Amino acid sequence: MESLHLLFATSEVFPLIKTGGLADVSGALPAALARLGVDATLLLPAYAAVLDSAGSLQQIARLDLPQHGDVRLLQGRLPDGLPLLLVDHAGYYQRAGNPYLGADGHDWPDNALRFGLLSQMAAWLAGEQSPLPRRPDVLHCNDWQTALAPAYLHFYDRAHAATVMTIHNLAYQGVFPPTVLGALNLPQESFHLEGLEFHGMLSFLKAGLVYSDRITTVSPSYAREIQQEPLGFGLQGLLRHRRDVLTGILNGIDTEEWNPAADTRLWATYDAANLAGKARNKEALQQTMGLAIEANSPLLAVVSRIAPQKGLDVVADALPQLIQMGFQFVLLGSGERALERRLRDLTHAHPGRAAVHIGYDETLSHRIEAGADVFLMPSRFEPCGLNQMYSQRYGTLPVVAPTGGLLDTVTDATAARLASREATGFVLERLDAGALRSTLARVNELYRNKEAWLRMQRAAMGRDFGWAARAEEYLALYRNLLARQ
């Protein structure tokens, strides 16, 4: 069979630029598809950080777009060898800070133009006028930042690639005043209830959901949840309407990047047969974070964006009591300033028992996964979530809220699952400080039973969260889509 040409359009990719799980998925899924024989190319904005680390780049096209000005298309390779295309617009992408936010924590004011251009370039590459030697068969868009591409193709192009829209997080929709319509070169007739309009505003994500051939999201549970309130965030009706083309495909994890037996970021490596290295990581983590060095105190950890989605306010509510129960606590994260402050103040009140590191630190995130005993993910909603999978692979048992991908990836320690040796973590009954406390009392009890704990660690470490099987699911979806065209 001739190889399938895929253009994977995204706003972040590990290791070049990362703010969250989308980067991890963009860094691993196209590579896993390439291993299945797909000819995959990534499309990304040429952020300053990306230009610094992308290695040698070649200009393959230059455009003067009336709405955007001078735009160049650069070609290079990702560190793993995958072909990479960069949309280079100095004014839009070469700034200090995060891809989406300025240093003040607010969205960049020109995000509509910045990601409108990314979407428009994706559509151009996947359309009739594609400058590529071979037009892609499938354009795979990810989240709102690339979601206008299917609309551009719908309105301006006849013979174009099939389109897939993946929702990584429906809470972020890219909603802007309708006045940007002209600046984005979209036709006035696209602005109506069955098109791009969302309560009088223009919604990027809605465009992708209306005009793409297939919609996917990152877990089966989340695929169900977003068809209803409240997790549909206003788009539940549209998603229900398109449910025949909507599927949930669970994310995988990069099992080379996240492998406790070979992770060079760790203080010591280990595997399921011998967990001695894990104890060494715990001791070093306690020392680094200024916690009392106590091998037998259960160490709770969080690595997360600090956003309402993640439920860390509930952790803050419960923290003093958790510490009283004998837990130590470590958090790495950044985001909402007020909650960052609250968490920091709480840990100052409990020296030696709790510590936070506000910031973004890839190395420390691996070390925490390795050094902690228990990983907390009390998310209000979680499309998939990756850390609960990293945790299991590192023998750090996750405590998760009963939502989205967390439900699909963690096997709760019920009596039956403990007996059958399938249990790999703990699922809260509901999300509040009371439920967190009572579940952690259960965790504490099991932690004292060294044999039972080790059995759970081994079950967790033995789970296969690799991308290979997931990539097969995406490939089947692409093939099915192309067969129908």
Q: Which residue is nearest to ligand GLC (CB)?
A: 21
Q: Does 20 bind ligand ADP (CB under 6 A)?
A: yes
Q: Does 383 bind ligand GLC (CB under 6 A)?
A: yes
Question: Which amino acid would we find at residue 288?
Answer: T
Q: Does 248 bind ligand ADP (CB under 6 A)?
A: no
The answer to whether 143 and 169 have CB atoms below 8 angstroms apart is yes
Q: Does 15 bind ligand ADP (CB under 6 A)?
A: no
Q: Does 168 bind ligand GLC (CB under 6 A)?
A: yes
Complex with ligand ADP: residue 73 or 364, whichever CB lies closer: 364
Residues 437-466 binding ligand GLC (CB under 6 A) are none
In whole angstroms, the minimum distance from the beta carbon of 231 to ligand GLC comes to 12
In whole angstroms, the minimum distance from the beta carbon of 23 to ligand ADP comes to 7
According to DSSP, residue 380 is labeled: S
387 to 426: interface string for ligand ADP, x by CB under 6 A: x---------------------------------------
Q: Does 233 bind ligand ADP (CB under 6 A)?
A: no
Q: Does 365 bind ligand ADP (CB under 6 A)?
A: yes
Q: Does 396 bind ligand GLC (CB under 6 A)?
A: no
DSSP string, 173-191: --EE-TTHHHHTT--GGG-
Q: What is the C-alpha end-to-end distance of the chain, expressed in Å?
A: 17
Region near ligand ADP per CB under 6 A, out of 181-189, 191-199, 357-365, 449-457: 357-365
Q: Does 301 bind ligand ADP (CB under 6 A)?
A: no
* CA pair distance 415, 432, nearest whole angstrom: 23
Interface residue with ligand GLC, options 333, 385, 395, 425 (CB under 6 A): 385
The answer to whether 126 and 135 have CB atoms below 8 angstroms apart is yes
**Which residue, chain included where needed, has tokens 């200024």?**
290
In whole angstroms, the minimum distance from the beta carbon of 263 to ligand ADP comes to 13
Q: Does 22 bind ligand GLC (CB under 6 A)?
A: yes
Query: Across-strand partners of 377?
Result: 400
Beta strands in 212-298 (DSSP E): 214-217, 246-248
Q: Which does 361 bind (CB under 5 to 8 A by kind): ligand GLC, ligand ADP, none?
A: ligand ADP
Q: Does 160 bind ligand GLC (CB under 6 A)?
A: no
Complex with ligand GLC: residue 297 or 309, whichever CB lies closer: 309
Peptide bond before residue 15 is cis, with ω within 30 degrees of 0: yes
Q: Does 25 bind ligand GLC (CB under 6 A)?
A: yes
Helix axes 204-211, 149-156, angle to 10 degrees: 60
User: What 3 state SS string does 2-69 have?
Assistant: CCCEEEEECCCECCCECCCHHHHHHHHHHHHHHHCCCEEEEEEECCHHHHHHCCCCEEEEEEEECCCE
Query: Across-strand partners of 141?
Result: 9, 165
According to DSSP, residue 129 is labeled: T
* CA pair distance 337, 63, nearest whole angstrom: 40
The structure tokens listed for 455 are 């059995």
For the chain, give the number of residues: 485
Q: Quick check: helix, strand or coil at residue 374?
A: strand
272 to 311: interface string for ligand GLC, x by CB under 6 A: ----------------------------------------
Q: Which does 218 bind (CB under 5 to 8 A by kind): ligand GLC, ligand ADP, none?
A: ligand GLC
The answer to whether 299 and 444 have CB atoms below 8 angstroms apart is no
* CA pair distance 366, 257, nearest whole angstrom: 10
Q: Does 332 bind ligand ADP (CB under 6 A)?
A: yes
In whole angstroms, the minimum distance from the beta carbon of 22 to ligand GLC comes to 5
In whole angstroms, the minimum distance from the beta carbon of 274 to ligand GLC comes to 30
Region near ligand ADP per CB under 6 A, out of 3-11, 331-339, 454-462, 476-484: 331-339
Region near ligand GLC per CB under 6 A, out of 128-136, 268-276, 379-387, 436-444: 379-387
The structure tokens listed for 412 are 């709760």
Q: Does 361 bind ligand ADP (CB under 6 A)?
A: yes
Cβ neighbourhood burial of 391 (10 Å; 0-12, 13-18, 19+): buried
Site for ligand ADP, rule CB under 6 A: 20-21, 24, 303-305, 332-334, 360-362, 365, 384-387
Site for ligand GLC, rule CB under 6 A: 20-22, 25, 168-169, 218, 251, 382-386, 405
